Amino acid sequence: MTDSIYHSVFGSLKRSIIHTSTFSENGMSMRAGLATLDVLEQEQLGARALRLGEFVRARLRQELSGFDMVKDVRGVGLFSGIEFGAPGQLSLRVPFETFNRIHPAMFGQILVMRLFRDHQVLTQICGNHFMVLKVAPPLVVREDQLEEFVQAVKAVVQLAHSPSVFWAEALKLAARVAQI
């Protein structure tokens, strides 16, 4: 900055601490935080998140209930997780366990990749539990968008339960990883 700007901002002891930290004593940030809290309260986004979270988990449980690899759907508010596990069916268990040995996150990464590529849904697996797909939509998500998400997840999970298509994709990914 120029000398004149520097001296106008930091030119006295009183003004020398005008910007000591991004997150301290910043009037603009405090006003923005209070305005955010006002919006959360006025638009009842907390209560809305609870209601829509229950809706999406109920729909996911309903649509995914017949799939062997889906172990649990759980969450709080709009933050949810879909837990996957080894299938009981041998024709699915063999490729599942094989790819799990290549890397424990491979199954989850294929789910994430297919959701994004085939359905334009951006999500991720949990960093501390590779078999849990995170569901974390914004607080302003609409019910129809959540239903779209449920149908996208169902389509990808359905692929994972067909031995050829999903696992061929996993095999290509494993081959690329092996070349690195």
> Tell me, what's the pLDDT at 165?
72
Q: Per-residue pLDDT averaged across 119-130, rounded?
A: 92
How far apart are the C-alpha atoms of 159 and 147, rounded to whole Å?
19
Banded pLDDT at 163 (limits 50, 70, 90): low
pLDDT band of 1, cuts 50, 70, 90: low
Q: What is the DSSP string of 53-103?
A: HHHHHHHHHHHHTT-TTEEEEEEETTEEEEEE---SSHHHHHHHHHHHHH-
CA atoms within 13 A on the CB side of 74: 5
Q: Which residues contact 22 (CB under 8 A, 6 or more apart)?
A: 29
Q: Which residues contact 155 (CB under 8 A, 6 or more apart)?
A: 118, 119
Q: Give residue 113's identity as a one-letter amino acid code.
A: M
Global pTM reads 0.77
Q: Domains along the chain?
A: 42-179 (3.90.1150.10)
**pLDDT at residue 169, as a whole number:** 73
Segment holding 145, helix H or strand E: helix 143-160
Residue 142 is predicted with a pLDDT of 95
pLDDT of 91:
83
What per-residue confidence (pLDDT) applies to 79?
A: 96
Starting at the edge strand that comes first in sequence, how are the strands of the sheet with 79-84 ordered?
Answer: 70-76, 79-84, 132-135
Answer whether residue 17 shows pLDDT above 80. Answer: no
- For all residues of the chain together, what is the average pLDDT? 86
pLDDT at residue 3 tops 60:
yes
How confident is the model at residue 117, as a pLDDT?
A: 92
Specify whether the CB–CB gap between 82 and 156 falls below 8 A. Answer: no
Rg (alpha carbons) of the chain, rounded to whole number: 23
Lowest mean pLDDT among 24-28, 31-35, 57-61, 134-138: 24-28
Per-residue pLDDT, 137: 95
